[in-house]
């Protein structure tokens, strides 16, 4: 390989990405995270946020933070890793409250969901094991598997027959199998068949890891997520991972499981051991958000009603949707340039809907990813549907 400068290495690749309509840019928000926002100087209705229950700018959480700042026992920064001096009482109480909410032995906090997934897979999966992952798992689960010492095999999306064949092979070869799946798939919005996965895991003595970043909050009794949504309970060989930056409206992540799993992560997970703890204030905010989530049946019903309204309206327009019962409602457009064109057309009409393109989604499956929130109104959804109808009629050219 030739010796080259950084500019030589990346200039051509960056230009190629522009030509392929795959170049990514960061929108700049000038307002709080809420349905009505100013983004890149445009006043718009935001249909891109994962703030499913409308907690990111919730007045109750903001007031709790103001009160906390007046408490001499709270600082803004955590100052150190959890294993040094960064583990504050607020972190500890939050972990206990999350564990009680989910009915598990222990919970462990992480600074990000990506970090949590890396830690879980790198720590629990060892040489000689095999990780069996759904083809459409989140990138963090893929990276966690690739950076573990285990073998890594992917099965077709939601295909439990293919999964069972791989489990049979692992069982015959006396390999510890670890099934890894999203609970709600972030780009398609569909649900993993967790009842069948749990049955297969028990039949073949496999472990199960569920990234339920998009399930906790909107789904299940008191927002307990996708497992609870299906009437299932986690056993000692099940690990659940959730983020706190979506329905919780805050930031960070957590891992929920048995005492043994949590102790193993504390002792051996490098992404946990060598990272500064998240802020004390964030723990305060999440504790307040958790109380709201458990009582948010009206918001969950509102979200469900908006999802049904959008799907009925999109079907009437003739848009191609996925079989998604969740707040994530992708509209398949095919090529990246078309997705960008539709997204730009919607911006001009006052709606912020991102174009999702490869490599985030498979080639030929570029889409608009509409995400709904309980804080949206029925009128806003109807207005979006009218804009989408206009876009379809003109093909946004």
Binding residues for pyridoxal 5'-phosphate: 113-114, 186, 214, 243
The one catalytic residue among 78, 186, 251, 373? 186
CA separation for the pair 45, 11 (Å, rounded): 35
Whose structure tokens read 């005492």? Answer: 259
The one catalytic residue among 229, 246, 345, 376? 246
Nearest to 314 by CA among 219, 397, 378, 392: 392
Indicate the annotated binding residues for substrate.
24, 138, 360
| Catalytic status, residue 214 | yes
Tokens of 358: 């490869």
The one catalytic residue among 58, 82, 214, 345? 214
Three-class SS of residue 211?
A: strand
Task: Write down how long the chain is.
Answer: 397
Strands 207-211 and 328-334: unpaired
| Catalytic status, residue 373 | no
Count CB-CB contacts under 10 A for residue 20.
13
Nearest to 331 by CA among 320, 346, 318, 345: 320
Whose structure tokens read 């998604």? Answer: 324
CB 394 within 8 A of CB 349: no
| Catalytic status, residue 127 | no
Indicate the annotated binding residues.
24, 113-114, 138, 186, 214, 243, 360
Q: Looking at the DSSP assignment, which residues form a beta bridge with residue 256?
A: 107, 240
Question: Residue 173 burial by CB count (10 A; 0-12/13-18/19+): exposed, middle or buried?
Answer: exposed
Residues forming the active site: 186, 214, 246
């Amino acid at each position: 390989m030739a010796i080259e400068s950084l500019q030589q290495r990346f200039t051509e690749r960056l230009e190629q990405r522009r030509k392929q309509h795959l170049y990514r840019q960061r929108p700049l928000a000038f307002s709080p995270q809420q349905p009505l926002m100013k983004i890149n100087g445009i006043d718009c209705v935001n249909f891109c946020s994962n703030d499913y229950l409308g907690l990111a700018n919730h007045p109750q959480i903001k007031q709790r933070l103001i009160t906390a700042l007046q408490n001499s026992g709270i600082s803004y920064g955590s100052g150190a890793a959890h294993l040094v001096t960064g583990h504050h009482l607020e972190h500890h109480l939050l972990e206990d409250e999350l564990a009680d909410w989910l009915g598990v032995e222990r919970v462990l906090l992480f600074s990000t969901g990506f970090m949590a997934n890396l830690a879980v897979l790198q720590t629990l999966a060892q040489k000689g094991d095999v990780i069996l992952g759904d083809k459409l798992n989140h990138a963090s689960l893929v990276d966690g598997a690739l950076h573990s010492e285990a073998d890594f095999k992917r099965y077709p999306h939601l295909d439990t027959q293919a999964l069972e064949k791989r489990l049979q092979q692992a069982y015959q070869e006396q390999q510890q199998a670890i099934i890894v799946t999203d609970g709600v798939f972030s780009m398609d919005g569909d649900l993993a068949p967790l009842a069948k996965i749990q049955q297969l895991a028990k039949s073949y003595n496999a472990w199960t890891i569920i990234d339920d970043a998009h399930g906790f909050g909107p789904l299940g009794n008191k927002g307990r997520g996708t497992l609870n949504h299906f009437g299932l309970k986690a056993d000692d060989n099940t690990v659940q991972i959730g983020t706190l930056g979506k329905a919780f409206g805050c930031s960070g992540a957590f891992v929920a499981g048995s005492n043994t799993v949590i102790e193993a992560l504390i002792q051996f997970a490098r992404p946990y051991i060598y990272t500064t703890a998240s802020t004390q204030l964030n723990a305060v905010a999440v504790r307040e958000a958790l109380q709201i989530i458990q009582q948010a049946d009206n918001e969950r019903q509102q979200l469900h009603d908006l999802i049904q309204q959008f799907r009925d309206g999109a079907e009437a327009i003739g848009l191609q949707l996925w079989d998604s019962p969740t707040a994530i409602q992708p509209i398949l457009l095919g090529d990246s340039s078309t997705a960008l064109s539709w997204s730009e057309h919607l911006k001009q009409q006052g709606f912020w809907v991102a174009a999702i393109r490869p490599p985030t989604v498979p080639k030929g499956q570029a889409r608009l990813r509409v995400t709904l929130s309980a804080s949206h109104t029925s009128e806003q959804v109807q207005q979006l549907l009218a804009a989408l109808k206009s876009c379809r009629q003109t093909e946004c050219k």
